[in-house]
Amino acid sequence: MASDRLQVLDHDPLVGTSLAALRDERTTPADFRRHAQRVGALLAAHATADIPTRAGLIRTPLADAPTVTRAVPVVAVPVLRAGLGLLPGVHEALPDAQVGMIGLERDAETLEARRYYFKVPPLEGAWVLVLEPMLATGGSASDAVRALDLSGAARIVVLSVVATEQGVRRVLDDDPRTHIVTAAVDPALDERGYIVPGLGDFGDRLFGTPH
């Protein structure tokens, strides 16, 4: 699906190598975490490739050298718990990124999302990276974006490992400011709401919990 707010990294062999390991049912939790970190770094690098910059000058041991640095802050907001798997990679790419966290659970009767944990730094003028590895229906990512006070944010980007067209459409339609960077867009959801072929439950595989 085409959109100027969607970037699919299916052309990047570095992303593809780690994505293959994440999909593989034989991958151990330790290796899963390692590849999740690598994908997180690559997603963050692509997501901020066109961030505003500032020119400067720094003194090396030999002479002055021109510099190009980021001109705006970055805030990473993992959606608990699976989003934590991407955070080390985001910090690998953006060591000074601030961190907020949001925990959401859906009421079984009303189907409305309820925040059970919420703590974020000021977002005014920041590029906000919402870390949601599995963009299935798009509901959790959309709820997270809505729950954040993003009126002053300079840009909102959802970082996803695997998405569906349905999930992408939901997020982009619900908030016209939001961008998505994902490693892959898979074709379908099964009757349980799992992405197919997907990679299973990201959180369970990340932390080695039964699934």
- Active-site residues, by number, are 106, 110, 201, 204
Q: Cα separation of 45 and 49, whole Å?
A: 6
Residue 57: HSE in the Cβ half-sphere, 13 Å Cα cutoff: 2
Report CA 66 to chain centroid distance, whole Å.
31
Phi-psi region of 138 (alpha: psi -120 to 50; beta: other; left: phi over 0): left
Taking a C-beta distance cutoff of 8 angstroms, is the pair 156, 145 a contact?
yes
With tokens 């400011």, the residue in question is 177
Whether the CB-CB separation of 203 and 209 falls below 8 Å is answered with: yes
Q: What are phi and psi of 202, to 5 degrees?
A: -60, -45
